[in-house]
């Protein structure tokens, strides 16, 4: 059956949530189940909006099941979860036609309900093997995630119904990013605490495979918190009330140098400074800009040479820098930051600033790919801009353009 526009929109809304793959992954790793999905459920339809299928069960995003052949239909009618550890040993479900039809032995389905009481669908998971699902910790985790999904869907719905000017849309989306990211902090803390508690108290009862699953959950939750923190930072940049101040860049960069040396354990000099400017800036933002750029330089340093970062400035009219985003008659300070690291392919000169874009593998999975995205936004928040030029195996050059004066009375 061809999906209606409404269902297509529902799928797009769920797919637009970057947290969905992580939620489904954590669900499977925490339970050992091989299939997890977010389903749009009505009185006549069951449609997959998000899925992780390791069985494979055979469902993809946009696929449908006959509503009468799903336990999600029962969840919709009763607003109560369905949870089964082992179909063959369950007095209620061992002869039920649904498990027999699909061949699963363990199953859980939790309702996703909007704040206005509308039933959206379910967060469900299953496996062809039995599993221990009917306990408070697993049920709480599924309920937590279903509430989180509902929160995000409500926020998207609210933004879509607001009738604001086009110029306000970006601020609305940033507000959504801030609210949703802030809301994610608490459940992520709970996931980490819960996982840590199970690892400590049940380590003797867990198999090596089980311990490996919990290690993976902890790493996924930790990475997700890093992403959330970066999203919070990104969403706040353009709307801080900090006054611009004329500030010496050399002193500011000195603070960043100390942070980098402490973080990476660098004992030798790695920073070479040329002549620097004194500019009207928001100091806390500009320190973050230099930290993000220099952090990237050290993280992606070349293995065969000691890292070196050079920073210098020059001042000229915007028209002479050849950057379309700069005002021709405005005077800018061009800050050039060059490293001797592994560089990158010039074809990524623009894409390197995209959100969550990582051009190099990160074995420890610590980078979120947001550092240069945040840095560029800071430059733009100062009425300037930022570009990057890469040479594979040789260097990365970042150029930041900032006005030398401001006409808004702040500096």
User: Are both 297 and 194 inside the same structural domain?
Assistant: no
User: Are both 169 and 280 inside the same structural domain?
Assistant: no
**Residue 1 domain flag:** yes
pLDDT of residue 241: 47
**Residue 175 domain flag:** yes
Domain range for 97 is: 1-132
User: Are both 79 and 171 inside the same structural domain?
Assistant: no
Q: State how far Cα 344 lies from the chain centre.
A: 23
Q: Report pLDDT digits (tens) over 83-140.
A: 999 999 999 999 999 999 999 999 999 999 988 889 999 999 999 999 999 988 888 8
Q: Does the predicted model carry a pTM greater than 0.75?
A: no
Q: Report pLDDT digits (tens) over 214-244.
A: 777 777 666 666 666 655 555 556 544 457 8
User: Are both 269 and 195 inside the same structural domain?
Assistant: no
Q: What is the mean pLDDT of residues 196-221?
A: 73
User: Are both 82 and 198 inside the same structural domain?
Assistant: no
User: Are both 289 and 374 inside the same structural domain?
Assistant: yes
Q: What is the mean pLDDT of residues 283-290?
A: 87
What value does the mean pLDDT of the chain take? 82
Percent of the chain past pLDDT 70, that is, above it, reads 78
**Residue 38 domain flag:** yes
Q: How confident is the model at residue 356 (pLDDT cuts 50, 70, 90)?
A: very low
Q: How confident is the model at residue 54 (pLDDT cuts 50, 70, 90)?
A: very high
CATH number of the domain enclosing 58: 3.30.450.40
User: Are both 275 and 206 inside the same structural domain?
Assistant: no
**Domain boundary residue, one of 217, 239, 261:** 239
User: Are both 97 and 11 inside the same structural domain?
Assistant: yes
pLDDT of residue 72: 96
User: Are both 262 and 399 inside the same structural domain?
Assistant: yes
User: Are both 37 and 168 inside the same structural domain?
Assistant: no
Q: Report pLDDT digits (tens) over 171-197.
A: 554 555 555 555 566 666 667 777 777
How many domains is the chain partitioned into structurally? 3
pLDDT of residue 218: 73
User: Are both 95 and 5 inside the same structural domain?
Assistant: yes
User: Are both 37 and 102 inside the same structural domain?
Assistant: yes
């Amino acid at each position: 059956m061809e999906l209606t526009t409404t269902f297509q929109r529902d799928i797009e809304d769920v797919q637009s949530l970057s947290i969905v793959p992580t939620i489904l992954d954590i669900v499977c790793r925490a339970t050992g189940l091989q299939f997890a999905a977010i389903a749009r459920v009505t009185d006549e339809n069951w449609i997959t909006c998000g899925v992780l299928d390791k069985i494979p069960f055979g469902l993809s995003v946009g696929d449908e099941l006959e509503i009468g052949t799903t336990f999600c239909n029962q969840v919709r009618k009763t607003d109560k979860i369905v949870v089964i550890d082992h179909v063959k040993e369950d007095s209620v479900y061992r002869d039920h036609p649904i498990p027999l039809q699909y061949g699963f032995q363990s199953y859980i389905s939790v309702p996703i309900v909007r704040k206005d009481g509308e039933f959206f669908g379910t967060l469900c998971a299953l496996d062809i093997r039995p599993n221990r699902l009917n306990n408070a910790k697993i049920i709480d985790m599924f309920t937590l995630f279903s509430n989180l999904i509902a929160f995000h869907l409500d926020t998207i719905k609210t933004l879509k119904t607001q009738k604001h000017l086009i110029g306000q849309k970006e601020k609305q989306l940033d507000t959504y990013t801030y609210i949703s990211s802030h809301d994610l902090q608490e459940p992520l803390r709970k996931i980490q605490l819960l996982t840590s508690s199970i690892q400590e108290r049940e380590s003797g009862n867990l198999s090596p495979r089980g311990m490996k699953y919990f290690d993976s959950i902890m790493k996924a939750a930790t990475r997700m918190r890093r992403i959330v923190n970066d999203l919070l930072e990104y969403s706040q940049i353009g709307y801080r009330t900090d006054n611009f101040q004329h500030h010496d860049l050399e002193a500011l960069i000195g603070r960043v140098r100390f942070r980098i040396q402490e973080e990476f354990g660098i004992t030798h000099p790695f920073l070479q400074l040329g002549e620097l400017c004194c500019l009207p800036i928001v100091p806390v933002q500009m320190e973050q800009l230099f930290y993000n750029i220099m952090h990237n330089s050290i993280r992606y340093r070349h293995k065969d040479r000691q890292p070196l970062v050079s920073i210098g400035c020059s001042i000229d009219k915007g028209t002479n820098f050849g950057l379309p985003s700069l005002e021709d008659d405005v005077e800018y300070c061009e800050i050039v930051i060059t490293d001797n690291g592994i560089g990158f392919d010039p074809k990524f000169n623009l894409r390197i600033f995209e959100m969550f874009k990582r051009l190099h593998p990160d074995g420890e999975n610590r980078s979120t790919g947001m550092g240069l995205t945040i840095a560029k936004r800071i430059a733009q928040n100062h009425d300037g801009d930022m570009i990057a030029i890469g040479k594979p195996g040789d260097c990365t050059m970042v150029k930041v353009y900032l006005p030398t004066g401001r006409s808004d009375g702040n500096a």
